[in-house]
Amino acid sequence: METPFPGTDLRALERRHDRLSAKAEALHAEHGRVRKQLGAIQNFLVLAPAAKDRLEELSKTLFGKILDEVELNLTHAIREILGQDRVVFTERDVKNNRLQIQFQIRNRGNEDEVEDIMSGQGGSVCNILSVGLRLIALSQLPEEKHRPFLVLDEQDCWLKPALVPKFMQLIHEIAERLSLQLLVISHHPLDLFSGAADRIFELRPDKDSGARVVQVK
């Protein structure tokens, strides 16, 4: 039998044919696998925007309940300490898959009069809110990994002296309710917060050592 390529061994051509056929079958199987994977990716890309919107909605719902409670507690703190009928509220948004929260404050009944918490009442509003948020955040940490202990360094510095007793009493009550231990550093006279502290230490000048700590309660 004469081959189509003179001088070529028929057995060699058959072996080459077998190799090419096997390679073709492997490529065909790979093509099918890639097409299937591409279809799954395309289906995911179609669902991705809806899934993202749903996740954002779930995030707002999940943290919304917590934030509602935070707003109530911080509003109570502002009213108790400053004696003003103001409302703390949050604006919530999801950006870059993260929940963004902005705290604001306004007078009750006046939706348009929004005050900057950073400068409100000479900074006292910001100080009160920052203490409240830290107490709340600390209470949410797992007890087996974190000690319930917080240091407040001159958080009453922006408060008028007449407001200090209410401020100290309120954080003392919150700390007891949340089982937190607080160390409060203040430059105000001791009589302004002596009723809201379990122990009081005073730093007194000493001509020999420069300063010494004395327990006064």
Grade residue 1 by pLDDT with cuts at 50, 70 and 90. Answer: very low
Q: Which residue ranges make up each domain of the chain?
A: 142-217
Q: What pLDDT does residue 8 have?
A: 58
pLDDT at 60 exceeding the cut of 70? no
Strand (E) or helix (H) holding 8: none
Helix (H) or strand (E) holding 181: strand 181-185
* 3-class SS of residue 214: strand
For the segment(s) 142-217, the CATH number from 3.40.50.300, 3.20.20.70, 3.40.190.10, 3.30.70.1290 is 3.40.50.300
- Count CA atoms within 13 Å of residue 27 on its CB side: 6
Task: Output the average pLDDT for the chain.
Answer: 78
Determine the Cα–Cα distance for residues 88 and 75; give it in Å rounded to an integer. 5
pLDDT in tens, 66-104: 778 778 888 888 888 878 788 888 777 767 766 677 778
pLDDT digits (tens, 9 = 90+) for 169-205: 888 888 888 888 889 998 888 888 888 888 999 888 8
pTM over 0.75: no
pLDDT in tens, 117-138: 765 555 677 777 788 878 877 8
Instruction: Provide the pLDDT for residue 59.
Output: 58
- Decide if pLDDT at 116 tops 80: no
